[in-house]
Chains A and B, each alone.
Chain A
């Protein structure tokens, strides 16, 4: 039997949420962002590190992030930080994500649908 793929939409928005959350605290460049995600999620979220850049560029294009080039220790890096629009977007995504996880948690711990099945 062919293996069935998980619904990718379910994970959509997660990298965006994590990136906005991290950058709300301080500005970072790509490598720092990935290392921060790894360390703060205890390596639970493992992604190809390069895939973070299209998300960053997309957020920047949407006006949620802004970038500036800085030279640190002789190396030129692009630092990203959150804009006001990005903060609002973070609040919206956080709210949606919190509602979703609360709903799933409710189901897992014996919500209405769970009782019907049992």
Chain B
């Protein structure tokens, strides 16, 4: 088997078996160096380049042996395989929570700085405040999509089956679609503004469902394109 095909097949088999991509890459790099040394040794012994490469590949070990040796080292399995519930359940939730916290913090601070006299921060603004509130809004609306793209990137890099990434994407889309921000002043005159977040599909069920579906579509789309491209390149 030619060197490049061997390398590609080994990479695919290791990734599909759940080995973390960075460990796969390091393994492949060192095997490539080793193969070059073996080939040089065979050539010094009098082989022509093609025979030397074939002999070097044989000495390197069979595909099964190379895969099995890596799989024996359980610590090199990716977290997405060892604990998919954490990778596609807890981690996206934490990432979204952090992004929403920062977005709310921007809203709250902007309200205090630029709109101290208003009862709500959801009023037309001008000047620098547009930019300031814009960052918060971008984070609020962009976070679910970015987190979703993160999930699809991991799924594509690690050749994962669709079940857990789908769970993660649906969760992110639901949270992104159902998130609602409320702002109110405390009863004390001149009191601090109060920002609160809810996650509910009502009262605007249609609008929130549409938002959730839009997030899901935007995040799934790159993964589907990658899958089609992969399938096309294999069949081609």
Binding site for B on A (CB under 8 A): 29-31, 34, 47-51, 53-55, 57-58, 61, 75, 77-78
CB<8 Å pairs between A and B, sample of 8: A30-B30, A48-B62, A50-B65, A53-B30, A57-B23, A57-B26, A57-B27, A61-B76
**Residues of chain B with a CB closer than 8 A to A58's CB:** 73, 75-76
Assembly CA distance A93 to B65 (angstroms): 24
**Residues of chain B with a CB closer than 8 A to A29's CB:** 33
Contact with A along B41-66 (1 / 0, CB 8 A): 00000000000000000011110011
Q: Determine if B31 and A50 form an interchain contact, defined as CB atoms under 8 angstroms apart.
A: yes
Q: Measured between C-beta atoms, what is the minimum distance from A87 to chain B in Å?
A: 21
Assembly CA distance A61 to B66 (angstroms): 19
Return the chain B residue nearest A12 by Cβ: B72
Q: Determine if B65 and A48 form an interchain contact, defined as CB atoms under 8 angstroms apart.
A: yes
Q: Determine if B27 and A53 form an interchain contact, defined as CB atoms under 8 angstroms apart.
A: yes
Binding site for A on B (CB under 8 A): 23, 26-27, 30-31, 33-34, 37-38, 59-62, 65-66, 68-70, 72-73, 75-76
Assembly CA distance A77 to B75 (angstroms): 24
Given contacts A31-B38, A58-B75, A61-B75, contact A50 B33 (CB under 8 A): no
Q: Total A-B pairs in contact (CB under 8 Å)?
A: 62
Q: Determine if A48 and B33 form an interchain contact, defined as CB atoms under 8 angstroms apart.
A: no
Assembly CA distance A78 to B66 (angstroms): 19
* Cross-chain contact of A30 among B34, B69, B73 (Cβ < 8 A): B34
Assembly CA distance A91 to B26 (angstroms): 29
Return the chain A residue nearest B31 by Cβ: A50
Q: Determine if A77 and B33 form an interchain contact, defined as CB atoms under 8 angstroms apart.
A: yes
Given contacts A54-B73, A58-B75, contact A47 B61 (CB under 8 A): yes
Assembly CA distance A50 to B72 (angstroms): 14
Given contacts A31-B38, A55-B69, A57-B27, contact A49 B61 (CB under 8 A): yes
Assembly CA distance A61 to B65 (angstroms): 21
**Residues of chain B with a CB closer than 8 A to A55's CB:** 69, 73
**Residues of chain B with a CB closer than 8 A to A49's CB:** 34, 38, 59-61
7 tightest A-B contacts by CB?
Answer: A48-B61, A51-B69, A31-B37, A58-B73, A48-B65, A50-B61, A50-B60
Return the chain A residue nearest B62 by Cβ: A48
**Residues of chain B with a CB closer than 8 A to A31's CB:** 33-34, 37-38
Return the chain A residue nearest B23 by Cβ: A57
Return the chain A residue nearest B10 by Cβ: A50
Return the chain B residue nearest A32 by Cβ: B37
Q: Measured between C-beta atoms, what is the minimum distance from B15 to chain A in Å?
A: 15
Assembly CA distance A50 to B33 (angstroms): 10
Other than the known A51-B66, A78-B30, what 6 A-B pairs have Cβ atoms closer than 8 Å? Answer: A31-B33, A50-B66, A53-B27, A54-B73, A54-B76, A58-B75
Q: Measured between C-beta atoms, what is the minimum distance from B186 to chain A in Å?
A: 53
Q: Determine if B66 and A48 form an interchain contact, defined as CB atoms under 8 angstroms apart.
A: yes
**Residues of chain A with a CB closer than 8 A to B31's CB:** 50, 53
**Residues of chain A with a CB closer than 8 A to B60's CB:** 48-50
**Residues of chain A with a CB closer than 8 A to B37's CB:** 31
